[in-house]
Amino acid sequence: MLNFYPGPSKLYPEVRTYLTDAYEEGILGAPHRGEQFVQLSRTVVGSLKRRLNIPQDYYIFFTSSATECWEILIQSLTKKKSFHIYNGSFGEKWYEYAKKLRSEAEGLRFDINEPMPVDQLDVSTDTELICFTQNETSNGTQVSATTILNLHNRYRDTLTAVDATSSMAGLNLKYIKADIWFASVQKCFGLPPGLAVLVCSPRAIFRAKQMNERNHYNSLVFMYEKMLNYQTTHTPNVLNIYLLKRMLEDRSFIKQIDIDLTDRANELYEFFGQFTEFKLLVENEEVRSKTVLALEANERLVEDIKKRALHHNIRLGNGYGPWQRNTFRIANFPAIGNEEYEELKRFFLHYYA
């Protein structure tokens, strides 16, 4: 089965071996306060920094999902309000959660064919956290490094948090240009669901300590205090942390992965731009995602394409949110091989050219 679903997505084939190795090494039944786990956790933190170009002085935490990160950040870094800039379902959901926890949270929606409108932002001075989604998995758009830099320059004194769930471990993100980044591992990391990585700047941790919010098992200060000893507040997903360690050791550095993914994204956009029955959902090339492509057609054709593909053992991604029925999505994740995209292209040429 070829799997182009944008999460949970295709696993690295090596995961099969890592799984049995984890069993053999006895890590899965080891206590999470013991030396074996601490050693594993320390190694993974080091590998994440080295392999993904995360600054040495940033802090890394393990959580169970990106959704959990949304909640942790609002709980532990805002007393009054966050500001959310979004153009799709994931960014909007984060904003909806924020409003439930802090009723004054504010949001600004922008068009999927426009860059994130940094110049037009009106973020009040009592805003504690600016939130946006680097790669909006629901519609196949992304916020460019330049736009993130502009935001950083315009709001230097406000903490910024970035949902990078479908780009971390695929793109060479400039972590220094924002305070908080997070991603769950069932997208670009090519691992099974149930683990997320939360990356925080020293400034973000300083703020968390100042706020000292201690009402939740996943309060950021608790996580920080445990992580000083490479431990977690609760029994973590040891298996997935182990898989993450092995995956990071075996992969290239992020700079190379980014180059390869970008090349392949360009090829895929060129290829999928040539059809007449369906078209790329995002017209503005500048804001197209490098890791998730969204294709638009009438609802019947979308159904037909997905069904026919499945019949040929190709799993395409369903549309999401408002684009659920009139789009399908294709992941461009590192765990998927070039030859698999060649097969995908042959399928489309055969039936839809």
Ligand X SMILES: *Cc1c(COP(=O)(O)O)cnc(C)c1O
In a 13 Å sphere around the CA of 199, the CA atoms on its Cβ side amount to: 29
Site for ligand X in 176-215 (CB under 6 A): 184, 187, 196
Q: Give the burial class of 315: count Cβ atoms within 10 A of its Cβ; 0-12 exposed, 13-18 middle, 19 or more buried.
A: middle
Among 82, 137, 141, 231, binds ligand X (CB under 6 A): 137
Sole window of 48-56, 77-85, 162-170, 202-210 interacting with ligand X (rule: CB under 6 A): 162-170
Nearest Cα neighbor of 322 from 143, 94, 113, 138 is 138
Kind and range of the H or E run holding 163: strand 159-163
Residue number, 9 or 348, with CB nearest to ligand X: 9
Sole window of 59-67, 117-125, 326-334, 340-348 interacting with ligand X (rule: CB under 6 A): 59-67
Among 54, 85, 140, 163, binds ligand X (CB under 6 A): 163
Q: How would DSSP label each residue in 175-189?
A: GGGSSEEEEETTSTT
Give least dist CB 184 to ligand X, A: 3
Contact 188, 333 (CB under 8 A): yes
State the residue for tokens 């997505």: 9
Give least dist CB 336 to ligand X, A: 16
The one-letter amino acid code at 12 reads: Y
Kind and range of the H or E run holding 28: none
166 is an interface residue for ligand X by CB under 6 A: yes
- What x/- string results for residues 83 through 112 when contact with ligand X is judged by CB under 6 A? -------x----------------------
71 is an interface residue for ligand X by CB under 6 A: no
Site for ligand X in 6-35 (CB under 6 A): 7
Site for ligand X, rule CB under 6 A: 7, 65-67, 90, 133, 137, 163, 165-166, 184, 187, 196
